[in-house]
Structure 1
Amino acid sequence: MEISYIIPAHNCENTIMRTVKSIQANNDKQQYEIIIVENGSTDNTKKVLQKMLASFTNIFLFHSKKGVSNARNLGIKKARGKWLCFVDADDYIVSTPICNDNVDLVIFDYLVGNKDKKLFTSSQSIDDKAGIFELKNEFLSNPTRYMTVWSKLLKNTIIKENQIFFDPKLQVAEDSDFFYRYLKFCKSVLEIEKPFYHYSIDNESTIRSAKSAIVSQYIQSMQKMRLYKKDNRDSSSAINKYILIHQNVSIVRGVFNRSDISFIDKIIKEKKIRQNIVYKEALKEESIFSLCKVRFLPQLFFKVHLGIMADILYELRAKYNEKRQNNQR
C-alpha cells in the first residue's frame, strides 16, 4: 500500500463526494486507500458515506468522537500505507502525488481558491543538515504558508515509531503542532513545484467562522509552542515568529472580525491580548530588524510604540477577509 488518504468527515454531505472523486481521479486504485473518519455529524453525512461504501472498494469508514484531532488520530492508527496524506472533507486533490521512499517528507505547492500558492521556485530534494535546519526555521517563521498537514506526504513509519498524534486539547493550530513534532524526525525533504492540493474557501471552516473563543484557543496553542523553545534554542527566533504570526491571526479573527463592538473596544481588547506572556515574551525577544517583513508589520509597530497603526492594519485585514468571503458566496 503506497498512500493512505485520511479524511475527517464532519457535516460535509455536500463536499465529501467531490473530495473522494478527486482522489480516485489522480491515483492508481492498487496503490492507495481512503480512510474516512466520521466524527459527530448532524447533517446527512453518514447517509452519504454509507452510499459511497457501496460504490468504492478501497474506502474504509470509521467513527470517532467529535473533533478533527480525534478523527485524524484514528485514521493514523488504521492507516496501512507507506505515506499518509491528510485531506479535509471540503478540499480536493488536483494532481497525481509523487512518492519518493528516499525522503522523509514530500511537500507540494497548493491552490487556495483559484490562486496558486508558489512555495518553491523549483522541485528539489534537501538532505544536508544545514539545509534541513534552514528549511524548518523557514516553515516555523511562516506557519500559515507551510505549517499545515495537507498538501504533504508524511511517512507512516516516522509517525508510528515516534508516536506522533494530534493533540485533542488544541482547538486551533493543532495541525501545526503535529507537523512541528513530525519535522523533528525529518532528515530529508522533497519539494515539488506543482500544485497537488486545493484548499477551498467557498465553505466557511470552524476557524473562519468562530470568533468568541478563538483568542483563548490560540493562546492555549501558543503556550504549548512556547514550551518547545526550551529544547530547541537554535530555533527560538523561528518559534517566536510562529507565535507572533498566530497573534495576528487570532486578533483579526477573534477581535477585528467582530461587527458587534466599536473600533475603540477592539483596540482595548487587542491591547489586553498583547499583554499575555506568550505574545509579550516573543515580541521582546525579537529585534526590530528581525521583524522587518510585511507579515510582521503589526509587531514592528508594537515594537516602536505605534500600536494604533497595527490596529488599523488589523481592521483593514478583517474588512478584506469579509469582502473575500462575501464574494465566494
Structure 2
Amino acid sequence: MKFKYSIIIPHYNSEVSLNILLSSIPNDDLLEVLVIDDRSSTAEYRQVIESSSLANIKEFSNKGVKGAGSCRNIGVEKATGQYLIFADSDDYFTTNAFENINAAVDEIDEQIDILFFQVTSSDSRNKLGFRHIKNSVLVTNYINKTGKYYKEKIRLTHNVPWGKVFRAEFVRNNNIKFDETIIANDGMFSLKAGKLSKDIACSNKEIYCVTQSENSLTTTKNVNHYRVRLEVYTRYYNYLSRKERKHIEASPFPLLYLSFDYGVVEVVRSIIYLKKNRVSIFKNFKFSFERLKRFTSRLSK
C-alpha cells in the first residue's frame, strides 16, 4: 500500500465547510484524501479540491444509490492506505489531530482493528455542542474503568465512523459496508466492525470536531427518515445476541417515542413493525425520571 492513511469524505453541496475540512488536514506523504461527491447541484466543490494545498487528493463521483453510505463504500473500495479514517464534509480535524493519530498508531499492535479517539463538537454559534458527549464518555470509560461492561459497550454502541481509525484489511476481509440509505447509514457498519474486531484500543487524545446544524439530516423532522431509522434499528437489534441486548439495555423505546411527532397512526404502525420483527420495546429498557419526563412532554404536544 502506498499510503499509511486514507481519509474518506462524502460530500454534497457543502463547498465552504469542505474547504475548512481540507484545510485541517496536513499535506503529508503518509496521507491520501478521497472526496466522493454525491451528485452535488453545482461543481463548485471541484474548485475547492483544485485549490487545496493537499498533494494526494482524489475526487470520485457517486453514480449509484444516493447517500453518504454509498459514497463511503466507494471510498473504501478506492482507498490504498493501510488505515481508513472517515470524516464528514461539514466537520473538521482538530489541532495536532494527525500527530496524535500517528503517535497512537505507532504505539499499538499492527493487528489492532479499530483505534478510538476523543472528539468534540460545536454548534452554529461556535460554542461547545453536545453531539460528541456520548462517544466521548465511551472512550473515557474504556480507558479509566475496569470490567467487561465498558470494554463491550464501546464496541456495540459507538455507532458513528468518525473519531476512529480502522485497519483497512480488517474492513475489507470482513466485507463491512455502510448501508445505502439516505440516513442512519453508519449504524450497522459501526456495530459490525465493533462485533467482528478481535482487538481494539482507545486514546484520550482529541482528533475531530463534529459540527451541529439545525438543518442537517440528523435534526430535520421527516417521517420517511424516521422510518429508515426504525428499519435500521431493527436490524441493529437483531444483529445483537440476547446477552448483548441485555448488556447494553437495547430498546427501541427512545426511538419509538419520536413517532408521536407524526401522529397516532405512525405510533401504531411502528409498534406493529417492531412486533413483526421480534423487537422487544420494554424488555431491556430502564426507566428514569428524566426519560419519563421527556416522554410525557412529547405526548402532551
| TM-score of Structure 1 vs Structure 2, range by shorter chain | 0.7 to 0.9
**1:221 is paired with a residue of what secondary structure?**
helix
Among 212, 219, 244, which residue is 1:208 paired with?
Answer: 219
1:82-101 CA-partner distances (Å, limit 9, x unpaired): 11111000000002323233
User: What code does the residue aligned with 1:56 have?
Assistant: L
1:157 correspondence with 2:155 = no
CA 1:239/1:123 → structure 2, altered by over 3 Å: closer, same or farther? Answer: closer
**Is the Cα–Cα contact under 8 Å of residues 105 and 190 in structure 1 kept in the other structure?**
yes
Partner of 1:305: none
> Paired residue for 1:167, among 159, 171, 179?
179
Structure 2 partner of 1:90: 90
Distance in 1 (CA, whole Å) between partners of 2:119 and 2:208 is 5
Q: Are 2:101 and 1:103 aligned?
A: no
SS at match of 1:194: strand
Residue equivalent to 2:15: 13
Give 1:315 deviation, angstroms. Answer: 7.1
Matches within 5 A, 1:116-127: 117=133, 118-119=136-137, 120-121=139-140, 124=143
| Contact preservation (8 Å) 1:240, 1:282 | no
> Aligned to 2:272, which of 264, 270, 276?
276
Give me the whole-angstrom Cα distance separating, in 1, the residues matched to 2:206 and 2:215: 22
**Residue 60 of structure 2 corresponds to residue 62 of structure 1:** yes
Q: Which residue of 2 aligns with 1:312?
A: 297
Of 233-242 and 157-166, more deviation after overlay is shown by: 233-242
Post-superposition offset of 1:44: 4.0
Structure 1 residues 106 and 50: CA distance shift in structure 2, 3 A: closer
* Alignment deviations for residues 218-252 of structure 1 (CA, whole Å, 9 cap, x no partner): 222123223324xx23213257626344435xx1x
Per-residue deviation at 1:173? 2.2
Q: Deviations over 1:90-133 (max 9, x none)?
A: 0000023232335221111111212463424478499x9x73x7
Deviations 1:132-183 (A, max 9, x none): x75333554xx4xx21111111110111111111121x33322111111111
**1:172–1:246 distance in 2 versus 1, CA, 3 Å:** farther
Partner letter of residue 162 of structure 1? N
SS in 1 for 2:29: helix
Q: 1:194 & 1:201 partners in 2: Cα distance?
A: 21
Q: Please, what is the CA RMSD of the aligned residues?
A: 3.1
Please state if 1:71 is matched with 2:71: yes
Map of 1:137 onto structure 2:
153
* Amino acid corresponding to residue 297 of structure 2 in structure 1: I
SS of 1:223's equivalent in the other structure is: helix
- In the alignment, residue 151 of structure 2 is paired with which amino acid? L
2:160 partner letter? T
CA distance in 1, matches of 2:116, 2:217: 25
- Among residues 241, 253, 257, which one is paired with 2:250 in the alignment? 241
Change (3 A) 1:108 1:177: same
Residue identity matched to 2:226: V
CA distance in 2, matches of 1:38, 1:157: 24
Residue 202 to residue 275, structure 1, CA distance change in 2 (3 Å): closer
Contact 2:214-2:220 at 8 Å conserved across structures: no
CA change 1:285–1:33 in 2 (3 A) is same
Gap change, CA 1:196 and 1:314, over 3 Å in 2: farther
Report the TM-score, using the length of structure 1 for normalisation. Answer: 0.72
Residues 259-298 of structure 1: pairs in structure 2 closer than 5 A: 268-269=264-265, 271-272=267-268, 275-278=271-274, 281-286=279-284, 291-293=286-288, 297-298=291-292
Shift of the 188–246 alpha-carbon distance from structure 1 to 2, 3 Å rule, reads farther
> What is the number of residues matched between the two proteins?
276
Segment drifting more, 83-92 vs 269-278: 269-278
Runs of 4+ residues over 6 Å off in structure 1: none
Task: Tell me, yes or no, if the aligned pair for 2:237 and 2:250 is still in contact at 8 Å.
Answer: no
Q: Kindly state the Cα deviation for residue 11 of structure 1 after the two structures are TM-superposed.
A: 0.7
